[in-house]
Structure formats: C-alpha cells, structure tokens
C-alpha cells in the first residue's frame, strides 16, 4: 500500500513540475510557517515545542525546493514580536529551536546567505548574538537563495524602524524636517526596511488554513500574491509547494493597474 502511495505521489509530483516548465517563477517568496503548535496537539504531543522542532526540520527541505525552482530570495516568518509575550516555559525552548536551526543553516556546505530581519534587541542577548554570528558566517555565499530569517519581527515595528532610520540619516546630513517632508517618497522608506536591496515578495505562502497577514511584511506585500494552504507547517509537502508555484504562475499580476 505504501509503495503504491509513493508511486502516485511521485507521478503527481512529476506532473506538477511539468506544468511549471516555462512558467514565471517568483524571485522572492515569503513563507509563514504556521501551525506547529496545532500540529503537535493533533498528533497527541503534550509539549507544543515538539511541533516547533518538527517544523524547524522542514525548513531545510523547503529551502532546497526553493533553490531547485530558481527562487532567489526567501523570507521565513519564524517568530513575531507578539509571540514574545508567550510564557517563558514555551518561549525559551522555541528560541533555542530557532537558534539551533539558524546555526545549522549557516554550516559549511550549505549554499544560503542568511539575513536576520527583526528587532534582535527584543531577544535575549545570547540568542541575538548567535543569530548575528550565523548571518556573518554566510556572507559571500553563492549557489542558493538569500534567506531572511524573521525573528522578533513585526511589520509595524519594521516601518517604525525604517522611518526612524530615515529621520536620523537626514538629520545627520544636516537636513530639516521640512526638506524631508517635501521630498519624501516610497523609495525613501524602502531603502530603510530590513529587506532593503531586495525585491518585494512576489508570493506569500501561509500554512495552517489561516488567511491573514499577522503583521508579516506589511509594506513589502502591497502587490504580493497570496497562497493559503490548509495543512499545518510540519505536514507541508513538496507537492504543496509546487501547487503554490502553479497557482502563482496561473495568475495575471496587475500591480493595481
């Protein structure tokens, strides 16, 4: 029975891949890795962090799929600023799981360039230091996607940080608020976002069946396409990823026009 199921899966996977040949591929994909705790409950685990551990193990597979598809940038939403209000009994192990994941992604032999996007100052000092060290270790890598790790991330906080950075830069150059107000445009803000220098996400994938942004890339997702998957993150499969790409490829992007 299992071999028959694997055969059907393999055939369907091959069919999905064939349908994507010659179709547009997103340059930047945002992934909201949602449903780890729900998966743990449904599987009978008492500790919700068992779900986070299985979900973390999924990340490396998904990055490999992105590389195979030719996706240049990936943003992984792993921990929101709102999540920092969780009880220490859950938050502390989750931070350790994220830290271990990032350190693993930064290991030699992996092709990904990591960028931490979020308010690292809200994290424990040891966690923030480990994340920054992993980021620095991967600079100059090629052959894989540039991967944004969104930890302690909130879209509103990002916009506030961008405006603050812009104001400080303008003041340091000797400019006045009146001058800034006169010349301020969208690009001025974009140049101070956590993702500056990168294209905005073409496609945002969210698992667990929830259909909301939850503060994810509020500025950058203005013209993104969205794909909502009913599966919880640990159950997300390659065929589900290919379905998301197929959905994206079949849409006509108008950018508001």
37 marked as part of a ligand binding site = yes
Check the annotation: does 206 bind a ligand: yes
Residue 216, both tokens: 């994810």
Identified catalytic residue from 67, 83, 92, 161: 83
Sign of the Cα pseudo-torsion (235, 236, 238, 240, in order): positive
Three-class secondary structure of residue 30 per DSSP: strand
Instruction: Let me know if 34 is a catalytic residue.
Output: yes
Residues 6+ apart with CB under 8 A from 35: 51, 55, 207, 208, 209, 210, 231, 232, 233, 234, 235
* Residue from 165, 161, 130, 134 nearest 147 by CA: 134
Is 78 annotated to bind ligand? no
Q: Which residue has the tokens 């799929």?
A: 65
Q: Find the catalytic residue in 34, 50, 200, 202.
A: 34
Does residue 225 have a known ligand-binding role? yes
Q: Tell me if 86 is assigned to a ligand binding site.
A: yes
Q: State the Cα–Cα distance between residues 42 and 27, nearest whole angstrom.
A: 34
In the block, residue with structure tokens 């961008």: 162
Is 112 annotated among the ligand-binding residues?
no
Does 83 participate in catalysis according to the annotation? Answer: yes
Q: Is 115 annotated as a binding residue?
A: no
- Supply the residues annotated as catalytic: 34, 83
Question: Would you list which residues are annotated within the binding site?
Answer: 34-39, 52, 86, 206, 212-214, 225
> Which residues are part of a known binding site for Mg(2+)?
34, 225
Residues in binding site for substrate: 35-39, 52, 86, 206, 212-214
């Amino acid at each position: 029975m299992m071999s028959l199921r694997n055969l059907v899966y393999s055939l369907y996977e091959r069919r999905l891949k064939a349908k994507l040949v010659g179709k547009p591929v997103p340059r930047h994909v945002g992934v909201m890795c949602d449903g780890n705790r729900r998966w743990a409950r449904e599987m009978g685990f008492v500790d919700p962090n068992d779900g986070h551990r299985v979900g973390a193990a999924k990340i490396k597979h998904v990055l490999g799929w992105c590389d195979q598809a030719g996706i240049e940038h990936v943003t992984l939403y792993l921990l929101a600023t709102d999540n920092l209000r969780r009880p220490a009994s859950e938050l502390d192990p989750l931070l350790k799981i994220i830290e271990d994941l990032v350190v693993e992604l930064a290991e030699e032999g992996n092709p990904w360039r990591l960028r931490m996007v979020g308010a690292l100052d809200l994290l424990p000092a040891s966690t923030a230091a480990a994340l920054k060290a992993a980021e620095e270790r991967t600079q100059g890598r090629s052959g894989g996607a540039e991967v944004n790790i969104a930890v302690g991330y909130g879209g509103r906080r990002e916009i506030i940080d961008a405006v603050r950075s812009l104001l400080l830069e303008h003041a340091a150059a000797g400019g006045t608020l009146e001058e800034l107000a006169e010349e301020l445009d969208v690009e001025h803000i974009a140049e101070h976002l956590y993702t500056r220098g990168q294209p905005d996400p073409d496609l945002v994938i969210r698992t667990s069946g929830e259909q909301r942004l939850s503060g994810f890339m509020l500025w950058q997702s203005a013209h993104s396409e969205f794909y909502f998957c009913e599966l919880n993150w640990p159950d997300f499969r390659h065929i589900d990823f290919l379905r998301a790409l197929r959905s994206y490829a079949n849409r006509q992007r108008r950018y508001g026009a």
